[in-house]
Amino acid sequence: MSLREMKLPRLAYNWISGIGIIIAVVTGVLMTFLYIIGIFAKVTNPYLGIFLYMVLPPVLIGGLILVPLGMLKTWYRFKKSGVASYPTWPYFDLNKKSHRNAALLFIVGSIFFLIISAVGGYEAFHYSESVNFCGKTCHSVMKPEFVAYQNSPHARVSCVSCHVGPGADWYAKSKMSGLYQVYAVLADKYPRPIPTPIANLRPARETCEQCHWPEKFFGAQQKSFNHYMYDEENSYWPIEMLIKVGGGNPESGLTSGIHWHTFIANKIEYIARDERHQEIPWVRATNVKTGYQTVYQDTENPLTEEEIAAAEPRVFDCMDCHNRPSHIYNSPDHAIDEALYTEKIDVTLPEIKRISVEAMAELYETEEAAWHGIANRIKDFYSEEYPDIYNEKQDEINEAILEVQDKYQKNIFPEMKVRWEEYPNNIGHFGNPGCMRCHTGNLQAKDGSIITRDCNSCHTILAQGSGERSMMAKSMDGLEFVHPEDIDEAWKEMGCHECHSGTQP
Ligand code: HEC
Ligand code: HEC
Ligand code: HEC
Ligand code: HEC
Ligand code: HEC
Ligand code: HEC
């Protein structure tokens, strides 16, 4: 059957429409093919989705638009040339059976096309909201966030639940900034590491609070912190604490704790000196019930009047404390403690904590360099310092090496320059200032009151230490903190993070 016999309108016989038809047919077939592959082969390659839902549909529509465009152009050309019998637009007459059939075909076809577009649009929306799309498409860029996310308590929560949230406006906003990000990646203009905090992240009230909300009463949370020292025996030093998380609905009367004070009873605003919000010299607390305001200022290094007037105070929300709910980059100190505690590293290997932390903390250029560097560092150490143990405990040493490599791979990403130092975690105050950004005891109001540094206002210690130095609380008041190493009273005046910055103090 020749083209002419198919009775296409004569105006459609031109280059532009022809190309349009070919493009439309080819992409249509390709899309059907990819769609079927996607369903049956359970392929999770992110590029398949991008191709199917984002690249091909505009190409298909573009092809379809070319058809009438070509016809229009031909029509104009004939009309202008002044030929008497130029091909006319197809006319339409419902009295003719063939025209009725054609109309029916057109209507059914259009409905079919609309349904396919709706399904496709829905799939495209879903796809652009999937963890695969966010985490894997620009794999090298998002790798740190994606890997840390998979090892976090939120591994089953999609990226967009926190980063976009419900509603069409934020969907559109995120896709607009996404366009710039695609450009930044293609042009290799993105920053390494990606700066934190995210300047325009959606307020926590609208994202986190889909699943957690401050009025929910959490009570206290018992938490164990398992530390190992940097001595020859890798001495174990656990700390068992009750953290007064609290919260609660004022209606029900059950109100107390960290969430209550900083959220429900008070509205807190602050001004930070640095971009990462680690240095906070000015805080304003507004009592929600009475409206009474207290301004706390750094006693040693206050902001000037001009600086305060120029600044825009930030309202303290969930993410000011929980800034790493999902992308947690552990320090070597913490990661190796975890490996020792879970017995992935044999604690009887002398000095294994120190040497593992050193091997992990070293600056390597690539992941592969780290892989070799860690292995060599640990092997050389034992063969030189403890040759007997090196010969006796080959297996244990090799297991330790594998574990340190694994911890490295999950927490440090040299290609993106991602390390624990770059992403301070604001919960607690051990490795980072965290709560002590405001609770150092240096922030004071005009009436002399300070933001408390009292160790027992946030938690009580139930037990600490091990072996001969093990201490258990005898009442609900808990124990006074005992620092395992003799550092005089330094821990009372300084922040823990000033010495414990993620490697050996
Ligand atoms: C539980 C909520 C949550 C989930 C789920 C989540 N994120 Fe995040 N993400 C955050 C928060 C909170 C921050 C840091 C905000 C801040 O400090 O400004 C962040 C920061 C980031 C950053 C900036 C760099 C950084 O680490 O601070 C990137 C990039 C990112 N997330 C990507 C992703 C990707 C990709 C996924 C899915 C694989 C994902 N996120 C899932 C909450 C989440
Ligand atoms: C789609 C639901 C969802 C969203 C949105 C969400 N979370 Fe979660 N969150 C969870 C689930 C599920 C858990 C795991 C609970 C568990 O393990 O007991 C969790 C656990 C937590 C925990 C306890 C972690 C731990 O170590 O046990 C914190 C803190 C937390 N979320 C904070 C946040 C913050 C902050 C945000 C906003 C940036 C957020 N969540 C957004 C569902 C969500
Ligand atoms: C002043 C700092 C601070 C703020 C602000 C804050 N939290 Fe928390 N939250 C904590 C601390 C501390 C814990 C105890 C867990 C820990 O130490 O890891 C906690 C625990 C939690 C937990 C786990 C509770 C449990 O028992 O497992 C969830 C969920 C949570 N917070 C959600 C939120 C949400 C949602 C917001 C915002 C509405 C919020 N938090 C605001 C400090 C804060
Ligand atoms: C403003 C509240 C607050 C104050 C004041 C405070 N802490 Fe903490 N502290 C926390 C929170 C929250 C955590 C839990 C961090 C986490 O979940 O990782 C913590 C964790 C700890 C830990 C365990 C850290 C680790 O990683 O092993 C110790 C030990 C500790 N605090 C001791 C103290 C001592 C000693 C003082 C008094 C000088 C003190 N804290 C004052 C909030 C506070
Ligand atoms: C931006 C500054 C800021 C940060 C950071 C901060 N707080 Fe606070 N917090 C305050 C202020 C201000 C108050 C005092 C409110 C008032 O006037 O009663 C307060 C009060 C509290 C109280 C009540 C203390 C009492 O008994 O009077 C607790 C508990 C608390 N914060 C816990 C925490 C924990 C835990 C963290 C870290 C995860 C933290 N805060 C981080 C500003 C901060
Ligand atoms: C003046 C510096 C300094 C300060 C401040 C300090 N420490 Fe330490 N800390 C040390 C030294 C030194 C060691 C011994 C190193 C080792 O062998 O573990 C140590 C060891 C520890 C250990 C044993 C295991 C480990 O992780 O090294 C714990 C737990 C600990 N400190 C907790 C704290 C807490 C909690 C605070 C804050 C309340 C604090 N320290 C403040 C210097 C300090």
Looking at residue 436, its pLDDT comes to 96
Amino acid at 402: L
CB 354 within 8 A of CB 230: yes
Is the minimum distance from the CB of 319 to ligand 2 under 6 angstroms? Answer: yes
CA 259 – ligand 3 centroid, Å: 7
Give the contacts of 168 (CB within 8 A, at least 6 positions apart).
none
pLDDT score of 209: 86
Cβ of residue 243 lying under 6 Å from some atom of ligand 4: yes
Q: How far is the CA of 151 from the centre of ligand 2 (A)?
A: 13
5/427 Cα distance (integer angstroms): 75
327 CA: nearest ligand 1 atom: 26
pLDDT of residue 6: 47
| 309 Cβ contact list (under 8 Å, min separation 6) | none
* Distance linking the first and last C-alpha atoms of the chain: 84
Q: How far is the CA of 245 from the centre of ligand 3 (A)?
A: 6
* Contacting residues for 130 by C-beta, under 8 A, at least 6 apart: 49, 158
Identity (one letter) of the amino acid at 146?
F
Q: Rg for the chain (alpha carbons), in Å?
A: 32
Q: Is the dihedral of CA 416, 421, 422, 428 positive or negative?
A: positive
Residue nearest to ligand 3 atom 43, measured at CA: 321
Q: How far is Cα 286 from Cα 308, in angstroms, rounded to an integer? A: 17
Does 198 sit in the ligand 2 pocket, CB within 6 Å?
no
Residue 362 corresponds to which tokens in the numbers above? 């070293």
CA dist 9 and 17 (Å) reads 11
For 290-334, the pLDDT digits (tens) are 999 999 999 999 999 999 999 999 999 899 999 999 999 999 999
The two three-digit tokens of residue 248, written as one number: 């609660």
Mutate to test the pocket of ligand 1, among 132, 159, 426 (most ligand atoms within 8 A of CB): 159
Give the number of other CB atoms < 10 A from CB of residue 313.
14
Dihedral-angle region of residue 478 (phi above 0 means left; psi in -120 to 50 means alpha; beta otherwise)? left
Contact 501 CB / ligand 5 (< 6 Å)? no
How far apart (Å, rounded) are the C-alpha atoms in residues 272 and 277?
5
Give the ligand with the smallest distance to the CA of 324. Answer: 1
Q: Which of 208, 273, 255, 220 is nearest to 438 (CA)?
A: 273
Sign of CA dihedral 28, 33, 34, 35: positive
Ligand 3: residue whose CA is nearest its atom 11: 245
Q: What one-letter code names the amino acid at 343? A: E
The size of the chain, in residues, is 505
Q: How far apart are CA 429 and CA 492, in angstroms?
A: 13
Residue nearest to atom 43 of ligand 6 (CA): 499
**Ligand 1: residues within 6 Å at CB?**
131, 134-135, 142, 145-146, 149, 154, 157, 159, 161-163, 194, 196-198, 201, 319, 323, 325-327, 423
Which ligand has an atom closest to residue 500 CA?
A: 6
Pocket test for ligand 4, best of 425, 430, 457 (most atoms within 8 A of CB): 430
Cα(161) to ligand 3 centroid in Å equals 18
Per the CB < 8 A criterion, the answer to whether 314 and 270 are in contact is: yes
Measure 7 CA to ligand 3 centroid, in angstroms.
70
Under 8 Å between Cβ of 141 and 187: no
| Atom 40, ligand 1: residue with shortest CA distance | 159
Ligand 6 near 229 CB (within 6 A): yes
Does residue 423 have its Cβ closer than 6 Å to ligand 4?
Answer: no
Q: Whose CA is nearest to atom 23 of ligand 4?
A: 225
435 touches ligand 5 (CB under 6 Å): yes
> Which residues of the chain fall short of a pLDDT of 70?
1-8, 41-47, 84-87, 138-139, 179, 250, 252-254
Report the atom number in ligand 5 closest to the C-alpha of 296: 12
Q: How far is ligand 2, taken at its centre, from the CA of residue 10, in Å?
A: 63
Q: Which residue pairs, CB below 8 angstroms and at least 24 apart, start in 265-273?
A: 265/289, 267/315, 267/316, 268/315, 268/316, 269/313, 269/314, 269/315, 269/316, 270/313, 270/314, 270/316, 270/438, 271/303, 271/307, 271/308, 271/311, 271/313, 271/314, 272/314
CB 242 within 8 A of CB 478: yes
196 alpha carbon – ligand 6 mean position (Å) = 27
What CA–CA distance (Å, rounded) separates 183 from 200? Answer: 19
Whether 204 is in the pocket of ligand 2, judged by its Cβ within 6 Å, is yes
State which ligand 3 atom lies nearest to the alpha carbon of 316.
Answer: 5
